[in-house]
Amino acid sequence: MIKNYKHIIWDWNGTILNDVDLCVELINELLKEHNLKTVTKDEYKSIFTIPVKNYYAALGFDFEKESFEVVGKKWMDGYEQRKFECKVYPGVVEVMEKIKNLGIGQSILSAYSQHTLDEMSAHFGLTKYFSHIVGLDNIYAASKLHLGQQLIKKLGNGKGETLMIGDTEHDFEVAAEMGADCVLLSGGHYDKKRLEKLGVTVLDSIRGLL
Ligand SMILES: [Mg+2]
């Protein structure tokens, strides 16, 4: 199936980088600090969403008491300190290598901050696979739709020539807006049932793509 595409666009968090456990730990620290109920990993995967502000609200954070900017910054400070504890999912490099050998282009499109994205893809030795690494200029993970639209314009690809690989409903929505096909992975920040409801191909492992 991969062979039919000119370009593959990868999401970063929960698709390339397995940061799910770290995200659960960090949000639970914040929830405890705010005397709110903590979540299990399964609960997290049933609640997490982008824009992340909506997910914080669903967990019970009251932005009247403390702004989302303050809470979100606290979370991100913790993430920045510990982000290198995370690993790339098994099979990811193998799949990137295979796509490269097929002569198909690859990019990253993420709602994560550009600076950290550049730093981390270099850390894991992945930069060489990508023609474009596109992230947000801030830490608040609102939407990457506008970035996706800019990227697809740069690539000059028509409908069905691009495949987006992601792990959230937001990836699915962005792919649809870009005229890209979409495959979602259940090992990331959304549970499988939520992804299957979208009516797209859902894989348990990136290796399933080959
Ligand atoms: Mg993701």
- Is the pLDDT at 139 greater than 70? The verdict is no
Q: What is the mean pLDDT of residues 65-70?
A: 92
SS3 call for 109: strand
- Rounded Cα distance between 192 and 45, Å, is 9
Residue 32 is inside which H or E element, if any?
helix 20-33
Burial of 167 (0-12, 13-18, 19+ CB in 10 A): buried
Specify whether 100 is located in the same domain as 169. yes
- Is the pLDDT at 25 greater than 90? The verdict is yes
In Å, the largest CA–CA distance within the chain is: 53
Contact in structure between 184 and 205 (CB atoms under 8 Å) = no
Q: In this structure, what CATH number is given to the domain that contains residue 150?
A: 3.40.50.1000
DSSP-assigned letters across all residues of 151-171: HHHHHT--TTSEEEEESSHHH
Q: pLDDT tier at 112 (50, 70, 90 boundaries)?
A: confident
Q: Helices 169-178 and 145-155: crossing angle, nearest 10°?
A: 40
Specify whether 57 is located in the same domain as 114. no
- Rounded Cα distance between 6 and 10, Å, is 13
Specify whether 26 is located in the same domain as 107. no
SS3 call for 75: helix
- Is the pLDDT at 124 greater than 80? The verdict is yes
- Rounded Cα distance between 107 and 131, Å, is 6
Query: What is the distance in A from the centroid of ligand 1 to the CA of 35?
Result: 28
Specify whether 97 is located in the same domain as 166. yes
What stretches of 34-159 show up as alpha helix (H) in DSSP? 41-47, 52-59, 68-82, 92-101, 114-123, 145-155
Length of the chain: 210
Between 182 and 51, residue with greater pLDDT: 182
Helix-strand-coil split of the chain, %, nearest 5? 50, 15, 35
Query: What is the distance in A from the centroid of ligand 1 to the CA of 190?
Result: 9
Q: What is the mean pLDDT of the chain?
A: 94
Specify whether 54 is located in the same domain as 107. no
Specify whether 99 is located in the same domain as 193. yes
- Range in 30-34, 144-148, 173-177 the model is least confident about: 144-148
**DSSP-derived secondary structure letter, 174:** H
Query: What is the distance in A from the centroid of ligand 1 to the CA of 51?
Result: 11
Query: What is the distance in A from the centroid of ligand 1 to the CA of 15?
Result: 6
Specify whether 114 is located in the same domain as 181. yes
Query: What is the distance in A from the centroid of ligand 1 to the CA of 158?
Result: 24
**Whole domain around residue 80: which residue ranges?**
20-85
The domain tally of the chain equals 2
Specify whether 45 is located in the same domain as 102. no
Q: What is the pLDDT of residue 138?
A: 67
Q: pTM for the whole thing?
A: 0.94
Tell me the per-residue pLDDT of 90-103, one tens digit each, with 9 for 90 and over: 999 999 999 999 99
Q: Which of 85, 113, 129 is the last residue of a domain?
A: 85
Specify whether 13 is located in the same domain as 28. no
Tokens of 49: 């969403």
